[in-house]
Structure 1
C-alpha cells in the first residue's frame, strides 16, 4: 500500500517559477545566459536555455521529493552514458560551486534545481503515424536502456512513486476520487480491477531491477533518417527511474504507442518483438504485459483528471489529455486473452493449437460426403462483375448451392471478397472465423462435447472449460445452464419440416468472449488460434487453403528474369479488379492510381464478353483476311489528323516506337535521330536507344549509340530554363544538335518526343516548342514522331492526342498502353507515303499485332470510351483532382509542383523549393505508406521524386477525393 506521502505528492502542482526567475538561477549558479523557453512537465518546471554555443535544460522540482531520488537520476544518466551501444543520454552539469543538486528559494518556496545537457532532436508525440520500423526501434531502445540499468543500483531507487506499476491498484483507487465523470470513473475502475486480477498471479515471476519507467514518445528524441522518417535515438527525463518490474518498462513504452495506433492494439507488436530480441522476457512477463498496459493507461487518464483539477493552467497536461484518453480506449477495446495470445505469438511462444480431433459430430444425420463447399474468395467464379458488393451475396451463393446439392457450407479461413471495402484506409475484416451451412430444417444436432448451455437471445453457446461452441439457427429446448454430455441432443435446425434452414457455428477457446465472425488479415494468426476451425464438428474438410503469396513470389523470383521488376519490396498478391479498384487475395481493396494500361478500368463486362466471343470464333495473325483488322485500322485512322491515314498494328508501345524509327530511316534514307534527355520510349533495341531516363536505365547517358543525339530536356520546372518563356532556349538546344549533324555531313532521319513530358511526371512542353522544332526537322528532311503511348488516347481529357496541346501535326504517331486495356496492342499511324517507304526493305509483320481478338478489343475499348464519356471524365475529374493536389502545396513544403492535365498528373516532391533538391527517399516512403492506406502509387522521373498519377479513366470523383485525402494524411502524419 502506498504511504501517505506518496498519495500527497500526487496532488502537488508544479513549482511557481517564471522564465525570468529561472534566468536568475541560471546566471547566479551556473554562469549561463541566453534565450529561455519553458518546456512541458506534469509536476516539475523545465526550462531550455540556448546560450548560442550550447543548449541545456534547467529542472526545478519541489522539496517534497527526496534529494536522494534526484541523485539517483543523475547517477543513472552517468551510468548509462558509459555503456557501449547506448542511446544518447543527457548528462548532469555541475553548478559553479561544484554542486550536482542546488537548493534555492523562490517566492518563499524551497525548490531543488539541476542542470542537464540538452539532446537535439524531435519527440515523436506529435507524429500521428509511426512506421513499424520506428515502433520497433522504440522497443529496441527501451531494451537497450533496460539492459544498461540491469547492474545499476542506488539507494534513491528505492522510492514510492505513483507511476510504479507494482502499486497500480491502490494508486488508481486514490486517483479516481478526482474523476468527476461517473461513467469514465466506472470504466477506469472496471479496467483496473480486471488488469490487477490478471497481474497478481504472475507478480512473483516478474523480474525486478532498475528501470527508466518512462520511455515514451514524449521522452525520446528522434532525428530523421534518409527518408525523412524520425528514428528515436535519445532518451530524456529520468524523473521516474526506480527499482521496479522489468516488464513495466516495456509496458510504459507500449502504452504511449497506442495513441499512434489508429485504433489497432496490434500496432505495438514490433516494439514487443524488438525488445524481446535484445532483452528476452519470460512467459510470465509476456503474459503480464497487456494487463500492465491497461493499468498504465488507466492511471494516466485518472492522473490527468486529478492534475487538471489541481493545476488547470498546465498546458502540458491539457495537451496530453486527448492522447491519454485514446490510449485508454485502445487498451480496453480488446479482450486480454487476444492480446496475450498476440504477444506470445509475436515472440514465438504461442501455446499449441487446440486439438479439434477430440470433438464429436454436431450433425450426425448429415453425410459429410454430400456437403458442397462454396467458394466466396477473391477468385470465386460465383462472384462476377460487382455482385460481391451485394450484402446478401454470400447467402445467395450458399442457397443456390444447397438447392442443387441439398447441403452446402461456406469455408472456414476464407478471405471473402464480399467483406472488402473499397476506398478504405485500413484493411477490413475478411477472414472467416466461422462457417455457415444451408441444410434441411429440423435436422437434429447433438453436443460434440460435454458442456453447459448458455442462451443469449437466439444465440446459443455450449461452453466447457477448454472450448466453447457458438451456434445461431438452432432451436434448443434445453434450459439456461443445463449440463449436457457429449452425444446428447441439444436441438434441431430452425425452420419448418421440408424447408431449408441455416446454421452458423464457431468455436472459441475463451469462455468469456463472444468472438467476431471475421478477422482482419493482419490479426489472423491470433484469432485463428482463439477460434479454431469447426470442420471437425461436421466431419468434412471445410477449411479454405491459405494464400501462398510468399511461395508464389519465391517461384516468380526463381524462374522470372530478375530485370522484370514488380512494384514494392513486399508486394500484395492481386488477383482481381473492378473499375479503378484492385483486390489482393486477402480481400484488401486498393485504389489503382498508376494503371494507364487499363484505361477503361478493371473487369469491364462488355470488354470481357467481346473478347470471349472473338476467342470462341477465331484468333490468328493479320496476314489472314478477316473483318476486324480492316474495321479497326479504318477506325484508328479516322481518329488521327488529316493526312495520317495509314495504320500498322503491333503488340506494344516499344514495338510501335521501334517501327516508327524504322519508318523514319526508310523515309529519309538517313540514320540520325534527335531525342530528348530524361525521356523513356521502350525496351526494344531501337526504342531503348532513344530513351535516356536514368531512372529506367542508370547507364542510359553513357551507352547511347552514335546515331542518337539527345538534346536538353525541355523541363520547364527543374530544367536549366524555367517557366513558359523558356521556349527559345530549349529550341536552341535542338537547333545546335541539328547543325552538328549537318556539319558532320550526315543526314537527319527524324525527331522523337512525347507530346507531354510523361516520364518526368506530365510536365507540359514550353508553348510553341513542337511547332518550331518540327519546322526545323522537316526543313532538313527528317520526320517528326509523336510518342503518344502514355499521354495520348484521351488521357489528357482536354485533348485526345497530346500533340493537340501544342497545335501541331506529327508525321508519325505511336500508341499502345490503354488502347487494348491490357491486351497486347499497339499501333503506328502515319501517311501512306511514309508507310510505303518501308516496303523497300521488305514486308512488315507482327505475329499478334492486329489479331482478331486484339482488333475486337481495340474497337470495344473505343466504343466504351465513347459510351461512358471517359475522355470527358478524364478532363473533369482530372481538373478536380489537380486542384485538390495544388491545395496540398499550400500546406506542405514538400510539395514542389503539380504537373500535367486530365488524368495524367505528376506531383513532384522537393526538400527545398528554391534549390529543388529532389525528395527521392521521402517519395519512396510516401508510396509505401499509401499502399498501407489502400492506394497503389509509384514514383517516376530521373530522381524518382514524382508521383506518376495515371489511373483508369473511369476514376470517380469519390475515388479522387480518397486519393487526395490519403495523400494529405501521409503528408500530415508522416510515413
Structure 2
C-alpha cells in the first residue's frame, strides 16, 4: 500500500489549467483580476497575480491530494505567523470565507488557494553562494524546526515521495527510468550505501513536523543598499510533514550542492549554523550525509520521471540539470569523510583509537633518535623557489639521513612543496602520512593483528576490523591474504619508507589533502606516531584569527589590513604570496615588490652590506654616490641633484618643502581624487575621500584642489578635455594672484594612480606646467606609484604627457620592499632648502638601502622587467578590455603595463559606481587564490599593480578567474 501511494504521488503530472482559466477562477471565487505570471512547479501550478489590490500567489494542485494535508499547511502558516523572526505567507480566504476550494474544471478535480506574495527573489540563479548565505540557510532551517517542534496536525501524517524514510523503496521503484546502465548502477550503489548507514541510526532519530523544502528555491531574499542579501521569508509548504527532524537539514544541504563548485564541504557552514540554534543529536549528525545522498538519488530519479510524463514542463527540465549536479557532488567523496567533516565542524569527534596495544612497527629502531625535517612553509631548507623542484622533500630527507642516520617528516605539517601557484583550487598540502629514511633491510613488524593486502603500486597494507596501516617502500615477506599476529614480521624496508594509518580497510585516503578537508581526513587518518614510537606530529601554529586579535590589541587600528578575515601570509616568491597552510595567492596589488617576492639577489645584497656596514648618509661611503648617479642617469638631463629618504610620503613631503623654499610661497595646487602620503604636508595635498572621508572639508587654506582630469567619469570626458580641465587650474591661480599670495607649486601624479591608472587628457600637464611656472611655482611629478618602468611604454609617467617636471618623487618599487624613496630635482631647487637649515634622513640613503636600490635597477635590466611590463602588460590590457563586451558590470579598463584599473559600474549611461559589487568581487577572488583590492573615490575600481615579473600564465589565470566570478553574479 505504501509503495503504491508513493508511486501514484510520484507519477502525477501538473494540472492542466491555462492562465485564462486561472483568471476566471480568481474573478469568480476571489473577486480579483489582473495579470498572471507563471512561477513554475514540479507537480502543481503556481501563478503570481498582479492586481490593484496587491500581489498574490494562486496555487492549483490536483484533487488527488488529500484536503487534510492542505489544511495542515494552512495551520502551520498560521502557527508560524505568530513566531518572532519568521516571515511566511498569509492565506487569503475566498469570497465564501474558505481557505481552500475544491473545484471541477474540464474534467479535473482541483484544489485552489490564494496566498500573500513575498517580494524578493530566490537564490537558485546564483552559481555561487557565499559563506554568509550558506550559514543563513542553515540557521533559518534550525529556527524553522524549533518553531515547528510543538506543532501537531492530523494532516502531517501523510505518505510523500520526499520523505526520507521511504527513499529506498522509491529509489528501487524508479531506477528503471534511467536508461543508461552505468548511471543506473551508480545511483543504486549510492542508495544502498546510504541505506546501510541509516538503518542502525533510524530508531534514534527525533521525529517532528518539518518544512522539508527550505532550499534556494523556497527562501526569498532581497539585496539591501550595500548589496547584502537580506532574508524576506519562506514559501511553499507543500512538503510539510511529520518525519525525522534531520531530514529538513538534509534537504537544505542537498540543495546547496548545485552551488558548490564541486566541493561537498560547502555545506559545513549551514550545519554549524543549524547546530548553533537547534543542537543536533550525535546520531542525527551521523545520518545527515546518508540522507543527503539518498535525497540526491531521489531528486534525479523523480526529475527524470517527471520529465518523462510531463515533457512540456520547462521548470522540471531546468531543475533536472541541478539535480544531476547535486548527485555528482554528493557521490564524489566517501561517506566516511563527510561524516567526519560534519562531526568535526560542530566540535564532535570520532571514537578514540586505543594505541596502548600497538607493537612497534620498526622494533630495531625503538629509542633511536630521528632528525625531524622541517618541510613547512617557513622551513629554512627552502629558498629561491627550490621547493618547486621535483622530489625536493625526499632529497632533503635523504640528505638528513646521510648526516644523522635516521630522518622523518612531520605528520600534518603543511608542505610548501605541495603549493600550486595560479590555481583557484585549494592545494593538497596537508600530509596524512609520515615519510622516513631508515637503513635498507630494517625489519617491519605488524603493530596489530590483521590481514595482509598487496597492491599493484607496491603498497603493503595490513587491515584489522577497525584499522589499516599502509606502507610504501617495503619488501613483503608474506603473501596477499595472509593473516598475521601482532608483532609478526611483515617484511623489510627496501626504499623510501612511507607510513599511513587509517580507520577501516575499505577507506582509500589520499596521501595529501587540502587544508579545508584536513580536520576530517586527520580524524580518519590519525598520526602513525604511536606505531613509530616517534613524536613526529606537526607543531601547532598560531592561527590567523588569534594573530589578528593580537594585532588589533596592540597595533593601532587606523593601520588597516586587507580583508575582514585575512589569511596569515609569511612567505612570498615572485608574484605569489603563500599562507601558513601552503596556499599560493596571485599577488595582483603589490607594486612595492617590483622584482617579485623572495628575490635571492635582494637577500644577498642586504646580507652582504649588513655584514659590512649600515649607517646614516652623513658618512662617506661609495654606495650613496653610485646610487645617486644611477638615478640621475634615469632622470631628464636638466636634473642633477638627488635626496634619498625612506618612503613616498617623505619624498612628497620633502618636495613640498623644496617648492616652498624655492618659490618663497606656500600655496599648492593639488588634484582632486589624489593620494600623496600621510605626513602633515603630504596629507594636506591628498584629496582622495577613499583614503580620508573628510578630505574635501579638511584641507588647509594653502591647498587649492583643482578638478580631477578624469576622462572617464569626470566633469568633462574624452581625450579632448584638457582645455576644460585647465580652466579649473586657471581659476585657482587667478584666486591666488588676486589675494597677492605667492604660488609654491603644483603636485600631480602624471598618470592618475589612485583612480586606477587613468591617463590624463593629452596636453593637460603641458598647459598646466606652463601656467604654474609663469606664476613662479614649481611642478612636482609624483611617480611613487606609476613610475620606474611600471607603465611599460615609459619609464616615467610624465613622459606620456611629453613634459619635464621640476621635481620627481619616487619610492615603493625602488627598494623592492626595502624602505627607500627619492626626490630628484635641479641644483638651484635643492640648494634653496639650505636657507632653512640642513636636511637629514637617518635611514634614507643608508648603505644597505643604496645597495639594494642599485640591485633593483640591475635586476630590472637583466631580467628585462621593463620590457615584460610593456609586452605582458599590453597582453593583460587586451584580455581585460575583452571583458567590456561580455559583462555590463565592466565599464572601462584604464592604464598600461602593470598599472591597470578595471572600473566597475551599474549603468553605462550614468556610470553609477558598483562599489559593493567590487568589494564582493575582491573577496571572491581571494577565495579563488587572488589578492585584489578596490581603489578610487567610490572604491569601484580594481587596482591592478602586480610585481613586474608577472607572466602571461598568471595574467590568464587572473582574467579567467575574474570572468568566472562575473559569470557567477555579484
Corresponding position: 1:720 with 2:719? no
CA deviations 1:157-194 (Å, max 9, x no partner) are: 11111111011111111111211111111111111111
1:745-824 correspondence runs (5 A) = 745-824=740-819
Which residue, 862, 865, 881 being the options, matches 1:867? 862
Which residue, 841, 856, 878 being the options, matches 1:846? 841
Q: Which residue of 2 aligns with 1:932?
A: 927
Q: Which residue of 1 aligns with 2:397?
A: 398
CA deviations 1:665-698 (Å, max 9, x no partner) are: 1111222211122211112222122112222223
Query: What is the deviation of 1:487?
Result: 2.3
The DSSP-based 3-state class of the residue aligned with 1:730 is helix
Q: Which residue of 1 aligns with 2:212?
A: 213
1:332-343 correspondence runs (5 A) = 332-343=331-342
Partner Cα separation in structure 1 for residue 112 and residue 552 of structure 2: 62
Partner Cα separation in structure 2 for residue 934 and residue 560 of structure 1: 27
Partner Cα separation in structure 2 for residue 413 and residue 804 of structure 1: 54
1:88-127 correspondence runs (5 A) = 88-127=87-126
Partner Cα separation in structure 1 for residue 53 and residue 384 of structure 2: 67
Query: What is the deviation of 1:288?
Result: 1.0
- Indicate if the aligned counterparts of 1:426 and 1:932 stay in contact, CA closer than 8 A: no
Partner Cα separation in structure 2 for residue 854 and residue 322 of structure 1: 60
Query: What is the deviation of 1:45?
Result: 2.0
Partner Cα separation in structure 2 for residue 564 and residue 32 of structure 1: 60
Corresponding position: 1:730 with 2:725? yes
Q: Which residue of 1 aligns with 2:602?
A: 607
Q: Which residue of 1 aligns with 2:562?
A: 567
Corresponding position: 1:510 with 2:504? yes
Larger deviation, residues 305-314 vs 274-283: 305-314
Query: What is the deviation of 1:923?
Result: 2.0
Going from structure 1 to structure 2, the CA distance change for 1:658 and 1:140 (only over 3 Å counts) comes to: same
Which residue, 927, 946, 952 being the options, matches 1:951? 946
The DSSP-based 3-state class of the residue aligned with 2:199 is helix
Corresponding position: 1:477 with 2:477? yes
Partner Cα separation in structure 1 for residue 394 and residue 100 of structure 2: 73
Query: What is the deviation of 1:355?
Result: 4.8
Q: Which residue of 2 aligns with 1:74?
A: 74
Q: Which residue of 1 aligns with 2:665?
A: 670
Q: Which residue of 1 aligns with 2:15?
A: 15
Q: Which residue of 2 aligns with 1:539?
A: 533
Partner Cα separation in structure 2 for residue 642 and residue 455 of structure 1: 77
Partner Cα separation in structure 2 for residue 617 and residue 368 of structure 1: 46
Going from structure 1 to structure 2, the CA distance change for 1:53 and 1:790 (only over 3 Å counts) comes to: farther
Partner Cα separation in structure 2 for residue 419 and residue 227 of structure 1: 39
Q: Which residue of 2 aligns with 1:143?
A: 142
Partner Cα separation in structure 1 for residue 547 and residue 46 of structure 2: 56
- Indicate if the aligned counterparts of 1:651 and 1:824 stay in contact, CA closer than 8 A: yes
Query: What is the deviation of 1:379?
Result: 1.8
Query: What is the deviation of 1:231?
Result: 4.1
Q: Which residue of 2 aligns with 1:741?
A: 736
Pairs aligned (count): 968
- Indicate if the aligned counterparts of 2:893 and 2:901 stay in contact, CA closer than 8 A: yes
Partner Cα separation in structure 1 for residue 106 and residue 355 of structure 2: 72
Q: Which residue of 2 aligns with 1:498?
A: none
Larger deviation, residues 898-907 vs 800-809: 898-907
- Indicate if the aligned counterparts of 2:477 and 2:489 stay in contact, CA closer than 8 A: no
Corresponding position: 1:467 with 2:467? yes
Q: Which residue of 1 aligns with 2:234?
A: 235
- Indicate if the aligned counterparts of 2:792 and 2:896 stay in contact, CA closer than 8 A: yes
Partner Cα separation in structure 1 for residue 50 and residue 855 of structure 2: 70
1:243-282 correspondence runs (5 A) = 243-282=242-281
Going from structure 1 to structure 2, the CA distance change for 1:525 and 1:806 (only over 3 Å counts) comes to: same
The DSSP-based 3-state class of the residue aligned with 2:958 is helix
- Indicate if the aligned counterparts of 2:648 and 2:810 stay in contact, CA closer than 8 A: yes
CA deviations 1:825-851 (Å, max 9, x no partner) are: 111111111112122223322222222
Corresponding position: 1:487 with 2:487? yes
Partner Cα separation in structure 2 for residue 594 and residue 453 of structure 1: 54
CA deviations 1:924-949 (Å, max 9, x no partner) are: 22211111010001112222222111
Query: What is the deviation of 1:47?
Result: 2.1
Q: Which residue of 2 aligns with 1:302?
A: 301
Partner Cα separation in structure 2 for residue 426 and residue 19 of structure 1: 47
Query: What is the deviation of 1:749?
Result: 1.1
Query: What is the deviation of 1:422?
Result: 1.0
Query: What is the deviation of 1:367?
Result: 5.1
The DSSP-based 3-state class of the residue aligned with 1:105 is strand
- Indicate if the aligned counterparts of 2:751 and 2:786 stay in contact, CA closer than 8 A: yes
The DSSP-based 3-state class of the residue aligned with 1:724 is coil
Q: Which residue of 2 aligns with 1:329?
A: 328
Q: Which residue of 1 aligns with 2:630?
A: 635
Query: What is the deviation of 1:138?
Result: 0.5
Partner Cα separation in structure 2 for residue 663 and residue 369 of structure 1: 70
CA deviations 1:429-462 (Å, max 9, x no partner) are: 1011101111211100112233332333322222
Partner Cα separation in structure 1 for residue 352 and residue 233 of structure 2: 41
The DSSP-based 3-state class of the residue aligned with 1:473 is strand
Unpaired segments ≥5 residues, structure 2:
none
1:511-526 correspondence runs (5 A) = 511-526=505-520
Going from structure 1 to structure 2, the CA distance change for 1:37 and 1:553 (only over 3 Å counts) comes to: closer
- Indicate if the aligned counterparts of 2:617 and 2:842 stay in contact, CA closer than 8 A: yes
CA deviations 1:479-524 (Å, max 9, x no partner) are: 4343333322221112xxxxxx211101112332121111211122
Partner Cα separation in structure 1 for residue 737 and residue 771 of structure 2: 12
Larger deviation, residues 566-575 vs 351-360: 351-360
Partner Cα separation in structure 1 for residue 856 and residue 121 of structure 2: 53
Partner Cα separation in structure 2 for residue 353 and residue 689 of structure 1: 64
The DSSP-based 3-state class of the residue aligned with 1:641 is coil
Q: Which residue of 2 aligns with 1:449?
A: 448
- Indicate if the aligned counterparts of 2:3 and 2:170 stay in contact, CA closer than 8 A: no
Partner Cα separation in structure 2 for residue 347 and residue 878 of structure 1: 47
The DSSP-based 3-state class of the residue aligned with 2:2 is coil
Partner Cα separation in structure 1 for residue 737 and residue 231 of structure 2: 61
1:313-324 correspondence runs (5 A) = 313-324=312-323
Query: What is the deviation of 1:52?
Result: 5.3
- Indicate if the aligned counterparts of 1:134 and 1:231 stay in contact, CA closer than 8 A: no
Q: Which residue of 2 aligns with 1:423?
A: 422
The DSSP-based 3-state class of the residue aligned with 1:201 is coil
Query: What is the deviation of 1:809?
Result: 0.8
Corresponding position: 1:686 with 2:685? no
- Indicate if the aligned counterparts of 1:229 and 1:974 stay in contact, CA closer than 8 A: no
Partner Cα separation in structure 1 for residue 554 and residue 63 of structure 2: 72
CA deviations 1:185-228 (Å, max 9, x no partner) are: 11111111111111111111211111111111111121114442
Going from structure 1 to structure 2, the CA distance change for 1:47 and 1:552 (only over 3 Å counts) comes to: closer
The DSSP-based 3-state class of the residue aligned with 1:163 is coil
Query: What is the deviation of 1:870?
Result: 1.8
Going from structure 1 to structure 2, the CA distance change for 1:973 and 1:478 (only over 3 Å counts) comes to: same
Going from structure 1 to structure 2, the CA distance change for 1:368 and 1:617 (only over 3 Å counts) comes to: farther
Which residue, 627, 632, 641 being the options, matches 1:646? 641
- Indicate if the aligned counterparts of 1:601 and 1:954 stay in contact, CA closer than 8 A: yes
Larger deviation, residues 480-489 vs 824-833: 480-489
**Normalised by the size of structure 1, how large is the TM-score?**
0.96
- Indicate if the aligned counterparts of 2:307 and 2:316 stay in contact, CA closer than 8 A: yes
Larger deviation, residues 384-393 vs 321-330: 384-393
